[in-house]
Chains A and B, each alone.
Chain A
């Protein structure tokens, strides 16, 4: 016979499951709606479009470069914030959160203005950025890196400091302790940071629209395609491209997770 406390526990678990179920249903419902709105033929037709294939190639390439760059920056920044104290640390910490909280359009506009300054013009003199492919990567990086930094900071915060300190007593420099002891433990965190940055970069739209434009066969990425197709009333193509992004994101997520599990992360 059930005890009153069992019934109360079940009620509580049901309460938790209700919220989880509602949110999961929303996500799955959106995906099913997308999938049933279009047909495989429409999806294939969309993929045959040269413009969409170019946008897909640019999206995947730029997102991968952005993810690698973001992890490259996030590891030292996350480690610095996690393991050291310095004057102005709270300020630096706060500044690093700005790309997360700023409206995407504002980031794009800020980048556009930055490249109108004398500094930006000097850079443009060396490497043309605005309205070109480098601007796509920079716009993605400006946002995605902030998420990677947060992930790496939490990763290093959760790693015990003691093995690193023992390494120092064994004759290691701080750099040796970092490379040989701490960084190998942070592989799972770096993978998560890279995945998060990649997903953010793939979905980035506002900053790219403002800073890079949405010129077909030049700076058009998949989110720009969705917008362009929607604005011309071609809903089928917009949904097909959306599904392509969903499939790509799921494939990358599953592959990377499998890789992480195999390496013990």
Chain B
């Protein structure tokens, strides 16, 4: 479960005030809104990459407002993937486990499992340069899922993909959500993406977040 309660943030000329919303546990929430309205900022607040001026953020009834990003257990898939340029795909996927000093055998098993689930097993020894847009997003997704986060944040993960790849990735996200049961918050501009994936739609309207027209678009 994700809960934003009266969150306010000012950064330069950008303001957010009284942002409140809730995403039930296991839901796939899609957040939509015009460019520059603060969708990415909401994800960064949830991940702990930005600190609100006031209000509170809860994940599964735990107040995480002042916790560091590392302590929140939120998997983050940024817009461009933001892969680590000098690490191989396998090293990226195993990154979160290695920094937790997980035994190497478990790391390798998890990397192999995600490699199979996301169909990136054949890429594990490669570095990110030269990967296609779809491959990069799969790697970023695998990297974010490796430590079994309770919440997954996706920032326009399908924005730069062609139509075929977009369709394929939508299917993959549906399958991943069904298999992991992770609570997801997915930011997008695409109405069709929202219709297809969302169990819970959220919209930025005049600086605040409202439940979308179809509060339970997909059950």
Interface residues of A (CB under 8 A from B): 160, 162-163, 165-173, 176, 180-181, 184-185
Contacts and interface: CB of A to CB of B under 8 A. Distances in A.
Given A165-B49, A180-B95, A171 B82 contact: no
Contact of A166 (B72, B82, B146): B82
A171 B85 contact: no
B83 interface: yes
Q: Is the interface of B mostly helix, strand, loop or mixed?
A: loop
Nearest to A181: B84
A256 to B, nearest CB: 19
Interface stretch (B5-13, B73-81, B184-192): B73-81
B122 interface: no
Nearest to B80: A162
Nearest to B128: A163
B143 interface: yes
Contact of A160 (B70, B74, B82, B100): B82
Which of A169, A170, A173, A185 has the most chain B CB atoms closer than 10 A to its own CB? Answer: A169
Contacts of A167: 84, 95, 99
Given A163-B83, A173-B70, A185-B86, 4 more contacts: A166-B78, A170-B75, A170-B96, A171-B147
Nearest to B96: A170
B206 to A, nearest CB: 29
Contact of A172 (B47, B70, B76): B70
Shortest 4 CB-CB distances between A and B: which pairs? A184-B86, A170-B96, A168-B69, A162-B82
Contacts of A171: 70, 96, 99-100, 147
A137 B214 CA distance: 71
B26 to A, nearest CB: 20
Contacts of A162: 78, 80, 82
Contacts of B41: none
Contacts of A173: 70, 99
Interface residues on B, range: 20 to 34
Contacts of B75: 169-170
A169 B99 contact: no
Interface in B38-85: 47-49, 68-70, 72, 74-76, 78, 80, 82-85
Given A160-B82, A184-B86, A185-B86, A166 B76 contact: yes
Contact of A168 (B49, B100, B146): B49
B85 A180 contact: no
Contacts of B68: 168
B144 interface: yes
A168 B84 contact: no
Given A176-B99, A180-B95, A169 B74 contact: yes
A167 B91 CA distance: 12
A72 B48 CA distance: 31
Interface string B79-112: 0101111110000000110011000000000000
27 contacts: A163-B82, A163-B83, A163-B84, A165-B49, A166-B76, A166-B78, A166-B82, A167-B84, A168-B48, A168-B49, A169-B48, A169-B49, A169-B74, A169-B75, A170-B75, A170-B99, A170-B144, A171-B96, A171-B100, A171-B147, A172-B96, A173-B99, A176-B99, A180-B84, A180-B87, A184-B87, A185-B86
